[in-house]
């Protein structure tokens, strides 16, 4: 099997499995207990928080562990509306459903006005339009993703942070696809909130974190025992948190080499695809500029290419046809639709990790020749 669906999720790094297994065997204590078992578990969590915060260059008190990126995003959107009194929210039509469906819910309930910033045909946001929309209110929330999970487009985060600041607005950056891929530094970029999910960088599923700037104050989504300094009640997922921190550390340790290596694989895939199929298109910025891990390809429509994703799967190659979280059910991509891609052509997202090889790209090309 060849796994080219790393934007949906990644396999666990063996070193992460090792650390998590050790914690599973040796540290079952409840971090809220005051005895030795509990205190040992508490130390593991606080060490993980320190590791994560030092890699992001922020304070440990600005990191809140959650169950996933979606939870972090929901917490911020609700908090901004209910506690900070934000009425005007500016987002884009190509955000993840964790943002879009949540905002639809709140706007249908009459709690906020949602504005969708204009995009160019490659899916990059129109900064003049963003500025015009920021002008609509004394204080807005800008909610834009750092890297798009389908087409890999990268947001000019620093510019957006500065623009938000100029209009006294808050900035929630969905960094789920870029945490562990870049040296993100939310404290230096006027980012007030950022979301992370461990399973996107070879960590475990079921754990993520919210970065929240120390000046922000919102209510939690969950009430109860007051864990995570009352921001996220519920007994902590110790194994997950330790696994997240280890995966984050590994990702930062090898980051430059990994970026070069994965970028090389993507470029090799692009040139190999062009050499076998003349009528091929790359969606968004994924061919050249976008996130190094994501390549979104539109194939020519033929009776064979309609079933391409399934044919690839039968031949042992896992890729994605829809968005990350609806992979498996090939629903029409709201991202490709929003950027005006030709929806008659079957699109496949290949997404790479450090565990992929050039030999796998060669194998995929051989299979594509066969099934097309
Ligand atoms: N945001 C982006 C850009 C994503 O790619 C994903 C997951 O695919 C999410 C948010 C949601 O993250 P999680 O699966 O941890 O809830």
Q: Give CA separation, 71 vs 31, 64, 67, 296, in Å.
A: 21, 11, 6, 27
CA of 152 to the centre of ligand 1 (A): 13
Q: What percent of the chain has pLDDT over 70?
A: 98
Q: What is the pLDDT of residue 330?
A: 61
pLDDT exceeds 90 at position 348: yes
Neighbours of 124 (CB within 10 A): 20
- The structure's pTM equals 0.96
Q: How confident is the model at residue 322 (pLDDT cuts 50, 70, 90)?
A: low
pLDDT, tens only, 18-57? 999 999 999 999 999 999 999 999 999 999 999 999 999 9
Pocket of ligand 1 (CB under 6 A): 68-70, 96, 98, 145, 149, 174, 176-177, 197, 208, 324-325
pLDDT exceeds 90 at position 167: yes
CA of 70 to the centre of ligand 1 (A): 6
pLDDT exceeds 60 at position 323: no
3-state SS, residue 174 = strand
Domain that residue 355 falls in: 2-10+254-371
pLDDT, tens only, 174-224? 999 999 999 999 999 999 999 999 999 999 999 999 999 999 999 999 999
Residue from 177, 207, 210, 243 whose mutation best tests the ligand 1 pocket (most atoms within 8 A of CB) = 177
CATH number at residue 310: 3.90.1150.10
Contact residues for 135 (Cβ-Cβ < 8 A; gap 6+): 167
pLDDT exceeds 70 at position 328: no
99 & 248 share domain: yes
* Residue where one domain finishes, among candidates 236, 253, 270: 253
* Residue where one domain finishes, among candidates 227, 253, 279: 253
* Residue 172 CA, distance from chain mean position: 13
Q: What is the pLDDT of residue 293?
A: 98
Q: Is 364 known to be catalytic?
A: no
Contact residues for 318 (Cβ-Cβ < 8 A; gap 6+): 1, 2, 3, 4, 5, 312
pLDDT exceeds 80 at position 325: no
CATH number at residue 61: 3.40.640.10
As a whole number, mean pLDDT of residues 336-355 equals 95
As a whole number, mean pLDDT of residues 156-170 equals 97
* Residue where one domain finishes, among candidates 205, 232, 253: 253
As a whole number, mean pLDDT of residues 234-251 equals 98
Q: How far apart are CA 258 and CA 266, in angstroms?
A: 12
Tally of domains within the chain = 2
CA of 98 to the centre of ligand 1 (A): 7
Closest ligand 1 atom to Cα of 145: 3
Q: How far apart are CA 372 and CA 367, in angstroms?
A: 8
What angle, 0 to 180 degrees and rounded to 10, lies between the N-to-C axes of helices 69-82 and 97-108?
30
């Amino acid at each position: 099997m060849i796994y080219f669906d790393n934007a949906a999720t990644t396999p666990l790094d063996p070193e992460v499995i090792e650390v998590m297994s050790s914690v599973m065997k040796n540290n079952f204590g409840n971090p809220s207990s005051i005895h030795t078992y509990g205190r040992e578990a508490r130390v593991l969590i606080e060490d993980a928080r320190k590791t994560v915060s030092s890699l992001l260059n922020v304070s440990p008190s600005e990191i809140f562990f959650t169950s996933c990126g979606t939870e972090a995003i929901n917490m911020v959107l609700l908090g901004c509306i209910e506690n900070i009194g934000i009425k005007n929210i500016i987002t884009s039509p190509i955000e993840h459903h964790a943002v879009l469906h949540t905002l639809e819910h709140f706007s249908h309930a009459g709690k906020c006005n949602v504005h969708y910033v204009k995009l160019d045909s490659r899916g990059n946001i129109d900064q003049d339009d963003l500025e015009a929309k920021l002008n609509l209110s004394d204080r807005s929330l800008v909610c834009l993703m750092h890297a798009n999970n389908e087409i890999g487009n990268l947001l000019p985060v620093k510019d957006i942070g500065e623009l938000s600041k100029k209009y006294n607005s808050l900035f929630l950056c969905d960094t789920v696809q870029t945490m562990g891929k870049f040296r993100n530094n939310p404290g230096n970029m006027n980012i007030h909130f950022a979301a992370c999910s461990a399973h996107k960088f070879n960590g475990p599923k079921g754990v993520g974190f919210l970065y929240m700037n120390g000046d922000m104050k919102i209510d939690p989504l969950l009430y109860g025992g007051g864990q995570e300094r009352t921001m996220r009640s519920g007994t902590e997922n110790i194994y997950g948190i330790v696994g997240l921190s280890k995966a984050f550390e590994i990702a930062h340790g090898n980051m430059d080499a990994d970026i070069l290596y994965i970028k090389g694989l993507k470029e090799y895939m692009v040139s190999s695809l062009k050499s076998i199929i003349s009528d091929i298109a790359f969606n968004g910025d994924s061919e050249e500029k976008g996130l190094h891990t994501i390549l979104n390809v539109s194939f020519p429509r033929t009776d064979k290419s309609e079933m391409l994703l399934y044919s690839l799967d039968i031949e042992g190659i896992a890729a994605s046809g829809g968005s990350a979280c609806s992979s498996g059910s090939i629903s029409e991509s709201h991202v490709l639709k929003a950027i005006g891609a030709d929806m008659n052509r079957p699109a496949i997202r290949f997404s790479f990790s450090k565990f992929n090889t050039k030999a796998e790209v060669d194998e995929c090309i051989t299979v594509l020749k066969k099934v097309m």
